[in-house]
Chains A and B, each alone.
Chain A
Amino acid sequence: MQQSKTSMNHKDLPQFAVLQLSGCAGCEVSLLNANEWIEKFDLVYMPLVVSAYEVPPVDVLLISGGVRSDEDLYNLRRAVRFSKKVIAVGTCAISGGVANLGNRDEVRELFMSQTERRDLPRLLPKSQPVDAFVDVDLYLPGCPPTPELFMAALFDDKEFKPSKTVCQECGRKKLKDMKPKHLTGFQRGEVDPDICLINQGYLCIGSSTRGGCRALCTRPGHPCVGCRGPSDMLIEKDSKAWLESIQRVFAALTDIPPEEIREALVSPQLALFLFQFSDYAGTGRPLRSKEKVL
């Protein structure tokens, strides 16, 4: 059988690498759901799918996962030195993500006393995002970012304009006369398929969360937990501004007492989960400029 080698002349293609730090590989799995890149890029390093043991100099370096071990830190610092463009992908790499649950002191006390091993990468005191250590050219938040977002980042697609908020992409109807008096329990009760989740008393923060995910969670009825981080309106402000924005939305759409909302949003017990995905600004690090966030 005669075969051509049309698309696999790798030498002429721009090269990219994917460095996975401590994470769940969900970002990598998402990337593998896109195939537009196969003939346009040479994937030179991504241990999940390629046998290669060092990040070579590349045009684009995608970094997923948080910096959890000394090995993560070593690999990160070495990889960025020879990369033309560094993109932090996923919530863990950008704002800590679910690993922030482990950064609570009561967890660290147990963790540090129970994880002694020999001859293995040592664990750092906390899990940290990538830009705590190196400069990042572009942030691609999401848990994980959709394949569409990956492609827009990889191809540097200037035409790609994600919606401003998840709310805009959700399409559920907001009702003026359906005002719950209290928050509905997490994931509990019947969900009306067409009406705004806030009208139904769910703690949904899609109104303040960056769009681009096509409202994958809220459409089937799960409140937005903010994995894409704050929208452009809020990303250059501190987390207080973000909290206030969410509270204003609930004040307009519900009769839930403001204290109840505030408690839910800031209490580590009630919203432990919610803000692990969202806390861009509460860390003392410089705020990210919206031009650098896709």
Chain B
Amino acid sequence: MTTLTFPLSRIEGHARVEIEVRNGEVLSTRFQAMEKRGFSLMVKGVPAEQMPVIVPRICGVCSTAHHVASVKALEDAFGVQPPPLAGTIRELLMLGQLIQNQATSLFVFTMPDRLGVESIFHVSAEEAGKDVQFNIARRALMVRKLGTDLITLAGGQFIHPVKAVVGGVSSGVDSGKAAAFQQRLKVALPTACELVDMYWDISLRMKDRIGTWGDDQPAYYITSTRPEQPSFDTDSIRVMDPAGDYCGEYTAAQFHDTITYEETDYSYAGRTSYKDGVMRANSLARANMTRRMGTKLADGYLKRLREKFGSPAHPILLFDLCRGIELVYAVERAVELLALPLDEEDTDVPYTPRDGEGWGLVEAPRGPLIHHYVIENGKIATGEFIIPTVHNMLAIERALRVAAERYITADNVNMELERAVGRVVRAFDPCIACATH
């Protein structure tokens, strides 16, 4: 037996893939998350009200999602309903997160696979090809920074936001600043679209080279966005079966009744399944489970996707294309929200802390994120974090097996496998700091 080990880069965190092979037969494909900090234990004894500022440190990439999920878990425990303005500002926070994340995944993590370079900071004009415009790095960083700056505008601190509080948000958004930022987004939108267009084109070319968009089987899909139009500040989880039929809608508190969570001895991350089936979360799940995006340009991209691949669509490299659609959506949607009055007084409601149990759900860029706290004497007795990436663990390993079987024969291992492993894993955009927490 031979074990092939592939260290991974251009993903968040420390992970590797191990493939066991005997005489050309693929015995196993494993995704190993290789770090652990232990947040579910670390937060024991922490005063509950401090959680929204501690948990963003689970992950600097997904910090905003943790911040908002934490506040919602506490609101559930304390029985508080935040005012509508707070909901709008939290949605802006989540959109900032989405812009930052999708731009990073598209242009920093996966674009180098399509250009055949080590990183976007190493794209020379020759390598990029004559029809790919130069200075990708600068434009890509400019677009992703819009996300960070939107988080700052709506959330205070730029990586680990502070403004979502139990009962609402600590302050509104100044109208002058909102207008200026809205203008910035409008100016940047064409650049974002150009990058997304280029990404489609070079993805098409990559598909021609490798001969597939991914030939793995369909799977269950899971999301917490709404069926009509994506919303990232959500309250229930939906599941779609591999044939495209809806098979359930659940609250966060019903999670353990419907979805199986287990740990393995070869990874610091757990994994989930639905009725013993493989699930997929993240951008493709949302695209498959929404009627429309609800903004003009993003709907154009969604139409283009559906015309070419149908709906629901299953090839895994479409995750990446769907991130492009969502990037455009997030910019457009933020432009809409910033036109609303955001500096009014009514940003939060008073509350009285109490002991008990709370569940908080948001749709993070990688899928549904749940925080679950049990509070005793004002302190966290149990802190549970159900991370979107764990919903994709089985899907990643199954897709890796498909890739391994494609490139491994009894006689040789086609080294395209090395690139394929990177493409497969990055399509799911796993977050290891979150998955292991």
A binding-site residues for B, Cβ under 8 Å: 1, 3-5, 7-8, 10, 20, 22-30, 32-33, 35, 38, 43, 46-53, 68-69, 71, 97-99, 101-102, 104, 106-107, 110-111, 114-121, 123, 127, 143-144, 146, 185-191, 193, 216-217, 219-222, 225, 268-270, 272-273
Q: Is B148 an interface residue (CB 8 A)?
A: yes
Contact of A50 among B10, B34, B44 (CB under 8 A): B10
CB distance from B82 to the nearest CB of A (A): 13
Q: Is B402 an interface residue (CB 8 A)?
A: no
By a CB distance below 8 angstroms, the chain A residues around B38 are 102, 107, 111, 115
CB distance from B44 to the nearest CB of A (A): 6
Q: Say whether B60 contacts A52, CB under 8 Å.
A: no
By a CB distance below 8 angstroms, the chain B residues around A272 are 45-47, 50
Contact of A25 among B41, B61, B120, B135 (CB under 8 A): B61
B binding-site residues for A, Cβ under 8 Å: 7-14, 32, 34-38, 41-47, 49-50, 52-54, 56-61, 63, 100, 104, 108-109, 112, 118-126, 130-131, 133-135, 137-138, 141-142, 144-145, 148, 152, 156-160, 162-163, 165-166, 170-171, 265-268, 348, 350, 353, 379, 422, 433
Identify 22 residue pairs between A and B in the complex whose beta-carbon atoms are under 8 Å apart, listed by A's number: A3-B134, A22-B35, A22-B37, A25-B59, A30-B158, A33-B148, A35-B141, A35-B145, A48-B10, A50-B118, A51-B119, A52-B9, A102-B42, A110-B44, A121-B14, A143-B159, A186-B49, A217-B156, A222-B162, A222-B163, A272-B47, A273-B50
Is the contact region of chain A dominated by helix, strand, or loop, or is it mixed?
A: loop
Q: Say whether A220 contacts B266, CB under 8 Å.
A: no
- With A117-B266, A119-B266, A123-B36 as contacts: A111 and B144 at CB distance below 8 Å: no
By a CB distance below 8 angstroms, the chain B residues around A43 are 119, 121
By a CB distance below 8 angstroms, the chain B residues around A186 are 47, 49-50
Q: Say whether A273 contacts B53, CB under 8 Å.
A: yes
By a CB distance below 8 angstroms, the chain A residues around B124 are 5, 8
- With A24-B57, A25-B433, A220-B171 as contacts: A187 and B152 at CB distance below 8 Å: no
Q: Say whether B53 contacts A225, CB under 8 Å.
A: yes
Q: Say whether A143 contacts B50, CB under 8 Å.
A: no
Q: How long is the Cα–Cα vector from A102 to B14 in the complex, in angstroms? A: 20
Q: How long is the Cα–Cα vector from A210 to B372 in the complex, in angstroms? A: 35
Q: How long is the Cα–Cα vector from A7 to B134 in the complex, in angstroms? A: 10
Q: Say whether B266 contacts A118, CB under 8 Å.
A: yes
Contact of A47 among B10, B46, B348 (CB under 8 A): B10
Q: Say whether A49 contacts B32, CB under 8 Å.
A: no
CB distance from A285 to the nearest CB of B (A): 21
Q: Say whether B63 contacts A1, CB under 8 Å.
A: no
CB distance from A41 to the nearest CB of B (A): 9
Q: Say whether A185 contacts B170, CB under 8 Å.
A: no
By a CB distance below 8 angstroms, the chain B residues around A97 are 57
By a CB distance below 8 angstroms, the chain B residues around A110 are 41, 44
Q: How long is the Cα–Cα vector from A121 to B7 in the complex, in angstroms? A: 13
Q: Say whether A106 contacts B12, CB under 8 Å.
A: no
Of all chain B residues, the one with the shortest Cβ separation from A97 is B57
Nearest 6 A-B pairs (CB), nearest first? A26-B60, A220-B156, A222-B162, A3-B125, A50-B119, A101-B42
Q: Say whether A119 contacts B32, CB under 8 Å.
A: yes
Q: Say whether B156 contacts A3, CB under 8 Å.
A: no
Q: Say whether A143 contacts B160, CB under 8 Å.
A: yes
Q: Say whether A146 contacts B158, CB under 8 Å.
A: yes
Sample of 4 further A-B pairs with CB below 8 A, known A117-B265, A216-B157: A8-B123, A26-B60, A187-B165, A221-B171
